[in-house]
Structure 1
Amino acid sequence: MDFGLDEKTALVTGAGGRIGSVDCEILAAEGAEVIALDIDTDAARTVVDDIEDAGGTARTLECDLTDRDEVAETISAVDEDAGGIDVLINNAGLVDARDKVEDFDDEIWDRDVAVNLTGTYNVTRAVYPGMKERGWGRIVTVSSVAGWHGGFGQASYAATKSALIGFGKTLALEGAQHGITSNVVAPSIVVGALADLPLDQLEQVDEHFARIAEATPMRRLGREEDVANLIAYLCSEQADYVTGQVVGVTGGVDLFSF
């Protein structure tokens, strides 16, 4: 299916990560010019090289999303050079914090709020006016199943990912009259090729992964492509009547079952 992304410019934050890199590859395969934004430029450069080797168009962009002035200057330069950003994938985020609330590190909390939530706000606020002026835009924000249901030992992650759901829905309300859609995807855990392992083999690799897979109705964990393919659709012309939605990519793990 042609998603109508030819001649569109797509900015992906956290582009060097596992989900972000596949987002970039699939959007480029659909014809978009991809801007791979990451504070880790080496990781982003690897993604861009792979896209270019496959015949796509992409470039790297270094920016600290927590620095509001830097974000504004960077997006302004991109707008001038590329003629505007049509698609924004808010993918950047940190997920490494593990501790119960009473033991949680205040600095880690502040860091995660700054990156996961405020960083997303900063880049969206910089990109949004151009979309509004052109009368077309696609914003997809990556939340998590933890944003719906919480996550034991993940206070900062779950809280920021939950806040992104409210943020994405607000963008949908504000952008609806201006040709801008905003949707949120909420993946469960994604583990690449490990998703193809039978449960007994997965347990030998990681018992935690195996427990989650066993609790998932589809009896497997997610792949990055499961998330990225949905994101590409939400960015398409065909999805122009889809906005304000939170779509789980979970294999059904969030369903109530006996």
Structure 2
Amino acid sequence: MDFGLSGKTALVTGGAGRIGSEDCRVLAAEGATVVVLDVAAEAAETVANEIRAAGGTAHAVTCNIITPNIVMDALADLSSEELAATNPMFERIRKATPMQKLGRERDVSNLIAYLSSEQASYITGQVIGVTGGIDLFSF
């Protein structure tokens, strides 16, 4: 098949996993340069090597995973009443969050900037929740 991917770059998160690795191989076979993103550096490199051996272009990159809760400036600025009127579930989540607020886009962006910095050079393969602590409780 020709999906017209030549000259394009594909970033595949979980690229060393069972499904992600096949995604990487198919994208490379279609002509895309593939970046195999995974927490498992050796496994990501194995997939990238397989792609290169088949004539494709691939790079292996280890990464961290960020799992935000509801993060949206527009929602974070709403009063309790406005939030409940928008979607009662959002207000229940805000109330259940130990910080008693919803996250903002900047909360995630600041973490990404830190993880990209030299100060975090030894942090890899982590799943980091940006949740305001909501994951400490179930509701």
TM class, shorter-length: 0.5 to 0.7
In structure 1, give the amino acid aligned to 2:94. Answer: A
Superimposed CA distance per residue, residues 15-66 of structure 1 (whole angstroms, 9 cap, x where no aligned partner):
xxxxxxxxxxxxxxxxxxxxxxxxxxxxxxxxxxxxxxxxxxxxxxxxxxxx
> Which protein is bigger by CA-based radius of gyration?
2
TM-score after normalising by structure 1: 0.35
1:232 equivalent in structure 2: 113
2:7 alignment partner, SS class: helix
Q: Which runs of 4+ in 1 moved over 3 A?
A: 171-175
1:248 equivalent in structure 2: 129
2:39 equivalent in structure 1: 169
| Kept after mapping to 2: 8 A contact 1:191/1:222 | yes
The answer as to 2:101 corresponding to 1:220 is yes
How far apart are residue 193 of structure 1 and its match? 2.5
Unaligned runs of 5+ in 2: 14-18, 46-59
In structure 1, give the amino acid aligned to 2:93. Answer: I
Matched residues, number: 114
Higher helix share: 1
2:34 maps to which of 126, 130, 137: 126
In structure 1, give the amino acid aligned to 2:80. Answer: L
Instruction: Output the CA distance in 1 between the equivalents of 2:89 and 2:101.
Output: 13
2:63 alignment partner, SS class: strand
Higher relative contact order (CA 8 A, sep 6+): 2
| Kept after mapping to 2: 8 A contact 1:181/1:242 | no
1:221 alignment partner, SS class: coil
1:74 maps to which of 1, 4, 8: 8
How far apart are residue 229 of structure 1 and its match? 1.6
Aligned alpha-carbon RMSD (Å): 3.9
How far apart are residue 243 of structure 1 and its match? 0.3
**Alpha carbons of 1:240 and 1:191: their partners in 2 closer, same or farther (altered >3 Å)?**
same
Unaligned runs of 5+ in 1: 1-66, 77-87, 91-112, 129-138, 140-167
